[in-house]
Amino acid sequence: MEQALAKLLLGVLLVGGSGTASASNQEVSCLALNIYHEARSQSIAGQIAVGQVTLNRVKDSRFPDTVCDVVMEGPHRASWSGSGEMIPIRNRCQFSWYCDGKSDKIHNEDKYRTIYRLARMLLNQDMVDITTGATHYHAYYVSPAWAKTKTRTTKIEDHIFYKWEK
């Protein structure tokens, strides 16, 4: 049932042929990880919306210009291990899963594979933006201070989406 609904929704959202260039596997992986950790319990619409926010940030000059750089944006510091690895400073990044100090292990491989295919489609297809240009979102049960400075665009399931006006 969920696969049929996903195909129907994706069919409605497609507005043209394929995008101008094929995304790299690294960019697809970064987008898939972001969607997986931020919205794996959401419907396909919720997952698409989180992916579109990531892509809207890539298009916005106030954010980094690659998917991976957007997902990993935030202050980093050298690891205490002395390996030279740079790690994100806890609770100071753009997407909470990336720097919450918890494991980023994929626990549901089937769900991740489905999200990976969705991420590839988001990167390689022209789609209607169901967030109406949102660059930010938060769960409905929190009230971040930054929300007052953005324009609300929509609510999809547990997330409220906002646009950062130019």
Residue 70 lies in a domain: yes
Residue 117 lies in a domain: yes
Contacts of 78 (CB under 8 A, 6+ apart): 84, 85, 86, 87
pTM above 0.85, yes or no: no
Residue 79 lies in a domain: yes
Residue 30 lies in a domain: yes
Which domain, by its residues, includes 119?
23-131
- The answer on pLDDT for 16 being more than 80 is no
Q: Are 100 and 91 in contact (CB under 8 A)?
A: yes
Give pLDDT, residue 17: 40
Question: Across residues 85-98, what is the average pLDDT?
Answer: 85
- Which DSSP string corresponds to the chain? -HHHHHHHHHHHHEEEEE-SSPPPHHHHHHHHHHHHHHHTTS-HHHHHHHHHHHHHHHHSTTS-SSHHHHHT-S-EEE-TTSS--EEEPTT-SSSGGGGSSS----S-HHHHHHHHHHHHHHHHEEE--TTSS--EEEETT---GGGGGSEEEEEETTEEEEE---
Using pLDDT thresholds of 50, 70 and 90, give the confidence band for residue 51.
very high
Mean model confidence pLDDT for the chain = 86
Give pLDDT, residue 22: 66
- The answer on pLDDT for 157 being more than 70 is yes
Residue 7 lies in a domain: no
Residue 149 lies in a domain: no
Number of domains present in the structure of the chain: 1
Give pLDDT, residue 54: 97
Residue 37 lies in a domain: yes
Residue 166 lies in a domain: no
- The answer on pLDDT for 38 being more than 50 is yes
- The answer on pLDDT for 5 being more than 70 is no
Give pLDDT, residue 9: 44
Read off the CATH number of the domain in which 101 is found: 1.10.10.2520
Give pLDDT, residue 37: 96
